[in-house]
């Protein structure tokens, strides 16, 4: 189960809606081994695409260097889908290389009237996708 604060949840949703119709992406870092998302990091979608996201390579490297120095890891890796349901695509699954991370997908398809808003979380390990419950709390 992903337990996330209301503030972090709302920041992810706001970013997804702001970047629509392009996909938004980012990471929430937390203390290594804690499974506790704490530090929100909004990332640039280097693809600037409504159907694909890719972290900017320089920005990504700098973030991982900072996390390494601070004994942090990626607890949540998030992105949005702009016209489809919030479920990992084959590309999403192939890029999921953080076995400890929760992969959050927000569907902003409702922004254009294509469907219902969705905020879903998945564990993706060795190509296997497992949806998990999301618990939104005021504070930890």
Cα atoms in the 13 Å half-sphere on the side-chain side of 104: 30
What pLDDT, in 10s, does the model give residues 77-97? 999 999 888 999 999 999 999
Spatial distance between the Cα atoms of 35 and 100, rounded to a whole number of angstroms: 8
Q: What is the CATH number of the domain that holds 35?
A: 3.40.140.10
When the pLDDT of each residue in the chain is averaged and rounded to a whole number, the result is: 93
Confidence of residue 111 (pLDDT cuts 50, 70, 90): low
Chain-centroid distance, C-alpha 124: 12
pLDDT of residue 117: 73
Bigger pLDDT: 51 or 114?
Answer: 51
Distance separating alpha carbons of residues 40 and 76, to the nearest angstrom: 9
Residue 132 CA to residue 120 CA, distance in Å, equals 8
pTM: 0.94
Structure tokens at 126: 């060795």
At residue 18 the predicted structure's pLDDT band, cuts being 50, 70 and 90, is: very high
pLDDT tens by residue, 23-42: 999 999 999 999 999 999 99
Q: How confident is the model at residue 115 (pLDDT cuts 50, 70, 90)?
A: low
Considering its fold, how many domains does the chain have in total? 1
The pLDDT of residue 91:
92
Q: Domain of 25? A: 2-137
């Amino acid at each position: 189960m992903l337990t996330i604060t209301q503030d972090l949840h709302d920041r992810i949703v706001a970013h997804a809606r702001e970047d629509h119709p392009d996909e938004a992406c980012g990471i929430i870092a937390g203390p290594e081994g804690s499974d506790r998302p704490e530090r929100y990091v909004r990332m640039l979608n280097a693809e600037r695409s409504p159907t694909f996201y890719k972290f900017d390579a320089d920005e990504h490297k700098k973030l991982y260097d900072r996390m390494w120095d601070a004994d942090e890891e990626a607890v949540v890796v998030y992105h949005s889908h702009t016209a489809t349901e919030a479920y990992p695509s084959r590309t999403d699954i192939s890029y999921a290389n953080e076995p400890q991370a929760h992969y959050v997908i927000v569907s902003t398809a409702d922004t254009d009237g294509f469907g219902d808003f969705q905020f879903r979380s998945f564990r993706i390990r060795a190509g296997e996708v497992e949806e998990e419950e999301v618990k939104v709390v005021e504070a930890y």
